[in-house]
Amino acid sequence: MAATNNVPPLVVRCQCGRVSFATPAPAPLKVYFCHCTECQRQSSSAFGTSAIFPAEGLFPLSPELGSMINKYTRHTDKGGKMDCYFCKGCGSRLFHRIVGTDGVPRPTVSIKGGCIEGLDWSGGCHIYVRSAVIKIPNGWEAYDTVPPSMMSTSRYIVVNATRYHYCQPHFCRHSYALRMAKDSPPWALRWRSNTLFIIFTVAIGLFTDLFLYGLVVPVLPFMLRSRLSIPEDQIQSYVSGLLAAYAAASMVSAVPAGWIADRTESRQWPFLYGLAALLAATILFAVGESIAVLVVARILQGISAAVVWTVGLAMVLDTVGPKNLGKIFSFISVGQLLAPVVGGVLYEKTGYTGVFGVSAGMLAFDFMMRLFVVDKKTAKKYDRSIPDNETNPRSIESRADQGVDEVSHEASEEDALLPKKEDESYKIHDEPNRFIRAMPILVCFKSPRLIMGLFLAFVQAALLAEYDATIPTEAAALFQFSSLKAGLLFIALDVPYLLFGPIGGWAIDRYGTKLAAVIGYVWMVPVLILLRLPADELLPRSKNIVLYCVILALNGAGLAMVGSPAIVEASDIVLKYDKANPGFFGKNGPYAQLYGFNSVFFYAGLTIGPVVAGTLKDSVGYGNMNLVFAVLSAVTAVLSFFIIGGKPRVLSRRNNLTPY
């Protein structure tokens, strides 16, 4: 490009000197120091440098320049492609240009800073510092990923004309406008993005969802009988069907919700949309006077649950990492068990007004919390003082692993250069096909531990749904209980869950998922079988009620142990894949997709559980129904022993013995 207004362009030269050309403009629009893993690989260094110039003047490439360079094309995280140009002789990367998903190239070109002679490096901006391996000096412009101004669909430059005009000491850009105006940080960013506030908000959101799901459990049989005039012999089928409608809607919506969440810059807005669906569902449930309206309400509630759980769990992992998931999730499921108690009491004392009044209050508080919360990834764009280990699950895991290594052994210099054997097993070596590129989480399904973790979610949900579907009707049949008394029976499940849930979560974080899952499901076998005793009426009525409560309490203790292994196991496996393949899953990782699939299996359990339980109860009786679920628990315990958390220690030790 010829000099304009006596300001000459800069010269770009490869290492061997064979390729040499002028920059399209005398100075770059912006200089970036990129710390992403792709730039680290490309530069074989700690980071890459890119000077952004207008593409006009370089593209279309001249025949002479085109004959001296080759092009390598790779896919970008957002589904576009990057055309990378390098010298045929020495292989030096010279420049690259991004082409969007619509096939239209950007109006800018990124020229590698080290190839530009006389480049002014001052004013450069560090990007993707979440992957940085060196310390960024204080005072430098730096971002966890990219500046907010680069996140709009129009990117950071607009080309308006074909003529350039420059003046000293800075050049005026009549042909393009640089969009680098920074967004002001949200109000009260510090406390709104605080770790405890995020965890509390997500916990409230998940608690509200489970609470509203379970709130109507003891009310449903009486609502169907009094409001809809359903015959007595059909009530169990309708109860099971309404519970299944909720779960089926969640199952269908979960994976799309996860896919969308991993492609949005902020987790907050999907969280709010989920709440809107929950509000609509609650209103329909309050005013509905036909089965069709109640089914639509349960479907909307199910869609809300899919979004809230998928996005909420991803936010929790972004915030606390996998090492603390057990303790967090030991609290959340309490909502599902506590709600039937509250629902039964409210319906008996206040009718529908009290039940749905509490629902409205919970939704209002939940909405306020979700409106205030700012996830860590968004907060980091405005405040770099937020530690990286709070915004990136990979960093949290790496930090935890480092702590273990420092205690257990002294690493040599060679150890740092060699990948761990376990990490190598999670490496992805094959070129991903278009299905994997569209949903990268699918590659993780090679791991039997991930599949087993999802199966645990299915079994856990089936057990929870079995209690919800059968306790109210069994209590009415055995003891002629009202909705109030049927709801109070759930206290017997709740109290042990509240007592042992945190202990179970701590045990998982401390000793791993295998121990908790095996002990929990082995425990479930006899206590499920014992549920047949009250129906035999071996004791007087009052003592029979006490016996039923005691057995339910034993079941609650087992549920506390099996409440967290599923999600912790699945998160651990996917995190290992993410760590072993930096950049493969995109900048947000595959975590929302994981929780989408986890929700599919969980809600499959909530769908199948009540249907199977209701059918078995009507056909073979309450006792034999629980026997079937006891067998399922026994099979799950055996599979957990051999699959999750790695090999059993006794087998691992035997395999490690070296014969002489």
CATH number of the domain encompassing residue 169: 2.170.150.70
Phi first, then psi, for residue 52 (nearest 5°) are: -90, 125
Judgement on whether residues 173 and 205 belong to the same structural domain of the protein: no
Q: Each residue of 133-158: pLDDT tens digit? A: 888 877 788 888 887 666 543 333 33
3-state secondary structure of 176: strand
Judgement on whether residues 285 and 170 belong to the same structural domain of the protein: no
Q: Which residue, among 564, 89, 104, has the nearest Cα to 313 in the 3D structure?
A: 564
Predicted confidence at residue 182, as pLDDT, reads: 43
CB contact at 8 A, 606 and 465: yes
Judgement on whether residues 136 and 221 belong to the same structural domain of the protein: no
CB contact at 8 A, 629 and 517: no
What is the token pair recorded at 218? Answer: 């003891």
Phi first, then psi, for residue 169 (nearest 5°) are: -85, -15
Q: Rounded mean pLDDT of the chain? A: 78
Give 52's pLDDT tier (boundaries 50, 70, 90). very high
User: Does pLDDT of 646 surpass 70?
Assistant: no
User: Is residue 433 assigned to a domain?
Assistant: no
Domain boundary among 178, 203, 227: 178
Q: Each residue of 602-636: pLDDT tens digit? A: 878 878 888 899 889 989 999 999 999 999 999 99
CB contact at 8 A, 269 and 315: no
User: Does pLDDT of 203 surpass 50?
Assistant: yes
Domain boundary among 117, 147, 178: 178
Q: Each residue of 354-395: pLDDT tens digit? A: 777 887 888 888 888 878 888 776 776 666 555 544 445 554
621: left (phi over 0), alpha (psi -120 to 50) or beta: left
User: Does pLDDT of 526 surpass 60?
Assistant: yes
Predicted confidence at residue 332, as pLDDT, reads: 59
Judgement on whether residues 255 and 344 belong to the same structural domain of the protein: yes
Which of 70-79, 189-198, 401-410, 478-487 is predicted with the least confidence, judged by mean pLDDT? 401-410
3-state secondary structure of 105: strand
Q: What is the distance between the alpha carbons of residues 29 and 27, in angstroms, rounded to a whole number?
A: 7
CB contact at 8 A, 551 and 534: yes
Judgement on whether residues 262 and 328 belong to the same structural domain of the protein: yes
3-state secondary structure of 420: coil
Q: Each residue of 345-355: pLDDT tens digit? A: 777 777 767 77
What is the token pair recorded at 87? Answer: 């010298």
**What range does the domain containing 163 cover?**
11-178
Quote the number of domains for the chain: 2
User: Does pLDDT of 316 surpass 60?
Assistant: yes
Give 585's pLDDT tier (boundaries 50, 70, 90). confident
Q: Each residue of 571-584: pLDDT tens digit? A: 889 888 888 887 77
Predicted confidence at residue 339, as pLDDT, reads: 63
Share of the chain above pLDDT 90, in %: 22
Judgement on whether residues 501 and 358 belong to the same structural domain of the protein: yes
Residue with tokens 């409560």: 549
User: Does pLDDT of 397 surpass 60?
Assistant: no
Judgement on whether residues 224 and 92 belong to the same structural domain of the protein: no
Domain boundary among 178, 212, 233: 178
User: Is residue 660 assigned to a domain?
Assistant: no
Name which residue leads in pLDDT, 200 or 265. 200
User: Does pLDDT of 404 surpass 70?
Assistant: no
Residue type, 99: V
What is the pLDDT averaged over residues 394-398?
Answer: 48
Judgement on whether residues 194 and 148 belong to the same structural domain of the protein: no
Give 104's pLDDT tier (boundaries 50, 70, 90). confident
CB contact at 8 A, 445 and 601: no
User: Is residue 249 assigned to a domain?
Assistant: yes
Cut 0.95: pTM above it = no
Judgement on whether residues 148 and 217 belong to the same structural domain of the protein: no
Predicted confidence at residue 224, as pLDDT, reads: 84
User: Is residue 88 assigned to a domain?
Assistant: yes
CB contact at 8 A, 475 and 534: no
Predicted confidence at residue 444, as pLDDT, reads: 92
Predicted confidence at residue 344, as pLDDT, reads: 66
CB contact at 8 A, 612 and 469: no
Predicted confidence at residue 459, as pLDDT, reads: 96
Predicted confidence at residue 528, as pLDDT, reads: 96
What CATH code is carried by the domain that includes residue 610? 1.20.1250.20
Judgement on whether residues 119 and 195 belong to the same structural domain of the protein: no
